[in-house]
């Protein structure tokens, strides 16, 4: 007779095994997968309790709660500079960070396709755990579902983050004001081009790596460098790139923007790959870059603080917010003309994150 | 020249349109889908801000934070008694409720397959909004991704819930003690059999409906009926059914259980469908039922409180916790014998939730 204790069963073969439907069925196979893979990798007391949800400590008095969620469907799953695991941690941490919040906890939900190699799953889960640990964030609860072969694509991961917002911080897309400076924390387009190159098996002279990184420490550095009220907008320009992010903020705030093309940092490798492929780096996704819109008096100190941080070495002030009820974002081109920087239209790169 | 304000664009055709990759690309189509479908249906100030995350009020002093996440991949998407939308709200609310928490907020992440009908998406989103409103819970933030045709299956929804746990409540799977009573709040197997009947196009004499429901109000009723410390374990027996749930608790608590088969409520329709199909109702999923394990002195008052609640009319005490270091769950059969009630093995019903 079988026993209800997973310890008596043969361990799951994480080297050669594959996901089967039983791993999502709520029975013993699922309990084993949780114990032998997820709980071991994410090792913390919340998960170890084995309940349906995690009970977390109260926040510090005066701090507000911040909640963000992101599904990750990136293809391919592994790429230079990261994988779907690290990306799913960084992406959601960054959504918290751009609200000014300190990220605290993550919930992770997995949708696995029948037949997916357990070795790849283990590699992805390890990568998540490493990224979360590096960021000081615990993966405290989770869920796993399995869909039949051909009804998914290997693995999708939704991460949901909880953060704490210290009093006095209130950045938001609707807070850009005419006269504000627009800063970016580094080169643009690296993540999008890394995915595209990997997907299309393009070989460039120098490898293009995703910039995937957790931005919360950079955000803390910025708040330490100025009065919190000077930081009007923080955003990470992911899908749709800088172009869509700036248009979104302009629409939310009811302002225009004037950006100097020459001042936008783009790495030579991404620039030449874009020219080759007819893409605009301003439409490409980033996963470790910050757009900051701030009061003019704080520009110099914030730019200096960015540049002194490991993730902001190539930070630049790229333009300013102006009065424009139509919400146009204009680019002052290197040749002295002006062109509209529009939202990304259509879909140059599906499943970029 | 196109303008960056969605208001100037032609509205999305929610009647005849289909999901295309642009809806997940971070550009204007995605902004339109959010504005014209999600923000309208879930109507609240958090979503209306249009930021990457929701900033929520602090919890009441003394309350702990509870976090739960669930991916929903149910197939078919629509079934008697519910759909993937209402299920995705109830499922996560219930994960919070069984921790003793009051559910407060939901985050929703959608993975859509290219070609999925927008009319079905709108119907599902409306169903989510209705279920959330009925439960007094706001959907405060979300995310949408689109995968290519053949790489998904219409729609997957991950919901993540935040709840507040009042002081003094601490139910948990490891707290069952010998002598405790085991109660269930109503008939078992309804959800699983409703899905199976719909999927296999089985017609029974009377339609079998999913029991999908939010259990937090029932849980509040229980806490009002006794001292909080008498409630040792709360669980909703979803995937794997009552059998897996009891085995899970037995393993976590290091106890055995003895359950009277005759006392377990099963509707006649589910019972006869199970006999026809060779299934055990104790292995079938439930989405609106509670398993409660309590100190013996509180059994009568808790059973009475359950029965007085709209979701607990057929509640029953089905057995008791006993000393058994091996963690066996045994069933006293109607014929007077005993058999092991084991975890669900294998997978009778994939994608049940």
Among the partner residues A5, A52, A140, nearest to B251 by beta-carbon distance = A5
Cβ atoms of residues B56 and B182 within 8 Å: no
Helices (H) and strands (E) in chain B, counts: 10, 14
The alpha carbon of residue B55 and the mean position of all alpha carbons in its chain are separated, in whole angstroms, by: 25
Q: Which two tokens stand for residue B234?
A: 């709360």
ipTM, interface predicted TM-score of the complex: 0.95
Q: Residue B63 CB: number of other CB atoms within 10 A?
A: 18
Instruction: Check residue A61 and give its pLDDT.
Output: 80
pLDDT band at B3 (very low <50, low <70, confident <90, very high): very low
pLDDT, averaged across chain B: 93
Instruction: Check residue A259 and give its pLDDT.
Output: 98
- A157-196 pLDDT, tens digit each: 999 999 999 999 999 999 999 999 999 999 999 999 999 9
Query: Is pLDDT at A156 greater than 70 in this prediction?
Result: yes
pLDDT band at B206 (very low <50, low <70, confident <90, very high): confident
- A275-284 pLDDT, tens digit each: 988 899 999 9
Q: Which two tokens stand for residue A335?
A: 């040749």
Q: Which helix (H) or strand (E) holds B294?
A: strand B291-294
Cβ pair B343:A27 closer than 8 A: yes
Among the partner residues A4, A111, A156, nearest to B251 by beta-carbon distance = A4
Name the minimum distance, in Å, from the CA of B301 to any CA of chain A. Answer: 25
B37: helix, strand or coil = helix
Is the CATH code 3.90.650.10 the one for domain A181-340? yes
Q: Which two tokens stand for residue A291?
A: 């757009």
Mean pLDDT confidence for B86-101: 98
Q: Identify all chain A residues contacting B71, using CB atoms and an 8 Å cutoff.
A: 109-111, 143-145, 158
Query: Is pLDDT at A44 greater than 80 in this prediction?
Result: yes
Name the minimum distance, in Å, from the CA of B263 to any CA of chain A. Answer: 23
* Calculated CA dihedral for residues A185, A186, A192, A197, nearest 10 degrees: -160
Instruction: Check residue A31 and give its pLDDT.
Output: 87
- A56-106 pLDDT, tens digit each: 987 888 889 999 999 999 999 999 999 999 999 999 999 999 999 999 999
- B96-141 pLDDT, tens digit each: 999 999 999 999 999 999 999 999 999 999 999 999 999 999 999 9
User: Where along chain B do the CATH 3.90.650.10 domains lie?
Assistant: 181-340
DSSP E strand stretches across chain A: 54-56, 64-72, 78-79, 82-83, 102-113, 138-147, 155-165, 181-184, 231-235, 256-260, 291-294, 316-322, 329-332, 338-340
Q: Identify all chain A residues contacting B342, using CB atoms and an 8 Å cutoff.
A: 1-2, 4
CATH of B6-165, one of 3.50.50.60, 3.40.50.720, 1.10.10.10, 3.30.1330.10: 3.30.1330.10
Cβ pair B328:A105 closer than 8 A: no
Q: Which two tokens stand for residue A34?
A: 């949780």
- A291-342 pLDDT, tens digit each: 999 999 999 999 999 999 999 999 999 999 999 989 999 999 988 899 999 8
The alpha carbon of residue A104 and the mean position of all alpha carbons in its chain are separated, in whole angstroms, by: 15
Q: Identify all chain B residues contacting A51, using CB atoms and an 8 Å cutoff.
A: 98-99, 172-173
Among the partner residues B158, B236, B326, nearest to A158 by beta-carbon distance = B158
B151 secondary structure, DSSP code: S
User: Where along chain A do the CATH 3.30.1330.10 domains lie?
Assistant: 6-165
Mutate to test the interface with B, among A38, A145, A155, A290 (most CBs of B within 10 A): A145
Cβ pair A66:B50 closer than 8 A: no
Cβ atoms of residues A146 and B350 within 8 Å: yes
Q: B38 forms bridges with which residues in the sheet? A: none
């Amino acid at each position: 007779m079988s026993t209800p204790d997973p310890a008596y069963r043969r361990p799951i073969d994480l080297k050669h095994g594959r996901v089967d439907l039983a791993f999502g069925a709520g029975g013993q196979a699922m309990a084993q997968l949780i114990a032998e893979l997820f709980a071991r990798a994410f090792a913390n007391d919340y998960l170890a309790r084995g309940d349906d949800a995690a009970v977390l400590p109260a926040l510090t008095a005066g701090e507000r709660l911040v909640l963000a969620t992101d599904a990750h469907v990136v293809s391919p799953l592994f790429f230079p500079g990261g994988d779907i695991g690290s990306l799913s941690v960084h992406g959601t941490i960054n959504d918290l960070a751009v609200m000014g919040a300190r990220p605290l906890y993550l919930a992770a939900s997995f949708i696995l396709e029948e037949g997916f190699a357990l070795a790849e799953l283990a590699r992805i889960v390890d990568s998540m755990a490493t990224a979360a640990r590096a960021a000081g964030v615990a993966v405290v609860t989770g869920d796993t579902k399995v869909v039949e072969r051909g009804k998914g694509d290997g693995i999708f991961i939704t991460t949901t983050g909880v953060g704490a917002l210290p009093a006095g911080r209130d950045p938001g897309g609707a807070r850009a004001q005419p006269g504000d400076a627009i800063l970016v924390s580094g080169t643009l387009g690296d993540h999008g081009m890394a995915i595209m190159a990997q997907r299309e098996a393009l070989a460039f002279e120098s490898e293009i790596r995703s910039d995937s990184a957790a931005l919360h420490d950079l955000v803390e550095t910025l708040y330490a460098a100025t009065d919190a009220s000077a930081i009007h907008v923080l955003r990470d320009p992911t899908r749709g790139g800088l172009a869509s992010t700036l248009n979104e903020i302009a629409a939310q705030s009811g302002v225009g923007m004037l950006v100097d093309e020459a001042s936008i940092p783009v790495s030579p490798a991404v620039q030449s790959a874009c020219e080759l492929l007819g893409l605009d780096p301003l439409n490409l996704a980033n996963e470790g870059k910050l757009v900051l819109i701030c009061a003019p008096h704080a520009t110099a100190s914030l730019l200096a603080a960015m540049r002194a941080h490991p993730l902001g070495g190539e930070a630049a002030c790229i333009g300013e917010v102006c009065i424009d009820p139509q919400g146009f974002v204009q680019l002052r081109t290197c040749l002295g003309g002006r062109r509209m920087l529009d939202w990304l239209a259509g879909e140059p790169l599906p499943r970029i994150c």
